Amino acid sequence: MHDQCVITAHDQPVSVPASVFAPGHLGALTRFLPAELVDAILEETRTQQKRLRHLPSRVGVYFMLALALFPSLGYTRVWDKLVAGLRPAPVYRPSEKALRDLRRRLGPAPLKALFEVLAGPLAQPKTPGVCYRRWRTVAFDGCTSIKVPDRERNRGWLGKVSNRLGWVGYPTVLLMTLCETGTRGLLGAVFGARRHDETFYARKLLPLLSPQMLLLADRAFDTNGFLSAVADTGAQFLVRLNPRRRPAVMAVLPDGSYLTRLGTLQIRIIDATLTATTAADNRICEHYRLATTLLDHRSDPADVLVRLYHERWEVESAYLALRHTLQNGRVLRSSDPVGLEQELWAQLVLYQALRVAMVEAVESIPGTDPDRASFTIALETARDSTIIAHTSRDETPAMPVGAIGRAVLAELLPKRRARTSVRKVKAPMSRYSSSRDDTRPPTSQTITSLTIDIHDAANTPPITPAHQDQRRVRRGAGRTGDGPRNQTFQLMRAEPQRVWQLREIAQALGYSNIKSFATLLGLWTSEGLLRRVSRGFYTLATADPAQT
């Protein structure tokens, strides 16, 4: 799928002329964001300058990217970074107002178009950690910790968080991305106000899925409608379910997983408990209920899929790099929605360009996992090369990568170790807020052993981790073997080919209210779990797991 990557390295050295276009560079990253590409996008979005003056539109695009590269500096200081390596040649130094006007003239359209050119799968399918079997693993997730200035226009767009004491904190943007888990590169992104939930924004990215992808997602994306929409794209999925959901047990598979239906969609459920033992002899247990369209237990064993689900956390690492390494946790600059859109697209362009450089570097050494490339080293090298205006490829046959790639390869991270620690909110509402999970160690500890127990469908234990709401535990949340639905299916699976009469099912299960029980059977029939043969007669919709 590497041919899907529409961005390639610029083949010729990028020279910076001593003219008004001289500040139009981004150091070593100019190789992946050449002037020809920027000019083509400016022409496409009709944001090219009408008259050539001191600040052409091309320079404005690079200036916006430089603002994202140096988030702690003001406009004129960032400009000085762009022109520092061009001296002693005379370079125009604009005022802060002129640079603000340049931003307004450009708007968000060229930065958004530039991101759409860069976005896409980055690695070859054979690169370690990129694919599971024939599918490229991708993940959805949202980031809600991007803070913006507390201005009236921003509040009108994004709103604010309130509690019993009134409005608190800064307004925040909800950023939703589709991430390639093997490289942490982005296939697409949308953002907006938090008044909409994550699935609202994720649906806008569904056209980016393909039959060659396997989607990983957490419990925020487990609704029936969203999973059906994912399946309609042809992509496979492995999604964690909310523990309060009780899927109907249609057929039990030899590995302990079972088949069920969500409307017309047939899926497989895996109930598993993971027990991790750390070097300090701490034992951490957590229950997972996973839903997947990979129905064959022979080619996709339950324990393998449970281990694969861990790859979903790579999107969290992507947000860590974007929000805390690149932005350094700072509040964005812009005081109006148009400026915020422009600023966010610029940061996403910069992030993706850095990932392109990192993937190119690790793929130059076959067998190197992209996890070993340091985002911090790539970022600092890009900053240094921007200051000295180092924009040429400067490569050799022995090392066919740019300055960023050489820096990354010189200090590859060690192979990833299995570790665990308490989950903490990076930007809490209160400095006195406690962690959400007190059962994990407060500092990172090495996992010495990991045990995966797959539970039989009829004997799945209730989910009772210490951080779960105890009211849910008292209601029996998490047990799949309870309730009239699974009791009915367990009875009917004893003779899967038989046509069952309503009254005999009710009598066998001890239900005296026939009318109420008939309503339940009608509901399960509408969900595709049962098939109505005639009035008062039913059979299982899927009688034999071999039929799948």
**353-390: per-residue pLDDT in tens?**
999 999 999 999 999 999 999 999 999 999 999 998 87
Nearest to 296 by CA among 271, 323, 267: 267
Chain mean pLDDT for the chain: 84
User: What three-state secondary structure class fits 537?
Assistant: strand
Q: Once rounded to an integer, what is the mean pLDDT over residues 439-444? A: 75
Choice between 480 and 429, residue whose per-residue pLDDT is larger: 429
pLDDT band with cut points at 50, 70 and 90 for residue 399? low
Q: With 50 as the cut, is the pLDDT of residue 5 above it?
A: no
- Angle at Cα 68 formed by Cα 63 and Cα 73, nearest 5°? 85
Nearest to 33 by CA among 65, 75, 67, 68: 65
Choice between 65 and 11, residue whose per-residue pLDDT is larger: 65
379 is written with which tokens? 């970022």
pLDDT band with cut points at 50, 70 and 90 for residue 428? low
Choice between 435 and 404, residue whose per-residue pLDDT is larger: 404
Q: Where are the alpha helices (DSSP H) in 459-501?
A: 470-474, 483-493
Alpha-carbon distance of 542 to 548, in angstroms, equals: 8
Alpha-carbon distance of 250 to 240, in angstroms, equals: 19
Q: Once rounded to an integer, what is the mean pLDDT over residues 106-133? A: 95
Alpha-carbon distance of 142 to 140, in angstroms, equals: 7
Which residue is it, tokens 């969203």? 226
Angstrom distances, CA of residue 493 to CA of 39, 485, 534: 65, 12, 19
Cβ-contact 418, 242 below 8 angstroms:
no
Alpha-carbon distance of 147 to 335, in angstroms, equals: 12
Q: Where are the alpha helices (DSSP H) in 140-217?
A: 152-158, 198-202
pLDDT for position 471: 36
pLDDT for position 54: 86
pLDDT for position 164: 60
Q: Virtual CA dihedral for 487, 491, 492, 496, nearest 10 degrees? A: 130
Cβ-contact 464, 473 below 8 angstroms:
yes
Nearest to 327 by CA among 61, 83, 67: 67
Alpha-carbon distance of 248 to 440, in angstroms, equals: 32
**Sign of CA pseudo-dihedral 158, 162, 166, 172:** negative
Neighbours of 227 (CB within 10 A): 22
User: What three-state secondary structure class fits 481?
Assistant: coil
Q: With 90 as the cut, is the pLDDT of residue 73 above it?
A: yes
Alpha-carbon distance of 512 to 501, in angstroms, equals: 15
Give the contacts of 492 (CB within 8 A, at least 6 positions apart): 498, 500, 505, 538, 539, 540
Angstrom distances, CA of residue 399 to CA of 209, 355, 404, 414: 34, 18, 12, 21
| Choice among 37-51, 307-321, 476-490 with the minimum mean pLDDT | 476-490
pLDDT for position 506: 84
Q: Once rounded to an integer, what is the mean pLDDT over residues 227-237? A: 95
Angstrom distances, CA of residue 311 to CA of 207, 307, 440, 499: 22, 8, 20, 44
Q: Find the helix packing angle between 502-509 and 514-526, rounded to 10°.
A: 110
Q: With 60 as the cut, is the pLDDT of residue 70 above it?
A: yes
Q: With 70 as the cut, is the pLDDT of residue 424 above it?
A: no
Prediction pTM value:
0.83
Choice between 361 and 482, residue whose per-residue pLDDT is larger: 361
Give the contacts of 469 (CB within 8 A, at least 6 positions apart): none
501-519 in b/e form (b: 16+ CB < 10 A) is: ebeebbeeeebeeeeebbe
72 is written with which tokens? 């702690």
Bridge pairing between strands 283-292 and 236-240: antiparallel
Alpha-carbon distance of 73 to 75, in angstroms, equals: 7
pLDDT for position 140: 93
For 259-304, the pLDDT digits (tens) are 988 877 899 999 999 888 888 888 888 889 999 999 999 999 999 9
543 is written with which tokens? 């009688």
455 is written with which tokens? 């539970």
Alpha-carbon distance of 179 to 137, in angstroms, equals: 9
Amino acid at 435: S
Q: In what helix (H) or strand (E) does residue 546 lie, and over which residues does it extend?
A: none
pLDDT for position 492: 81
Cβ-contact 394, 402 below 8 angstroms:
yes
Query: 171-175, 245-249, 472-476, 530-534: which has the highest mean pLDDT?
Result: 171-175
Q: List, in sequence order, every beta strand (DSSP E) within 93-252.
A: 131-132, 135-147, 161-163, 166-168, 172-180, 185-192, 213-217, 236-240, 251-252
Cβ-contact 435, 445 below 8 angstroms:
no
404 is written with which tokens? 């960023």
- Angle at Cα 374 formed by Cα 370 and Cα 377, nearest 5°? 145
404-417 in b/e form (b: 16+ CB < 10 A) is: bbbbbbeebeeeee
Q: List, in sequence order, every beta strand (DSSP E) within 202-305.
A: 213-217, 236-240, 251-252, 258-262, 265-278, 283-292
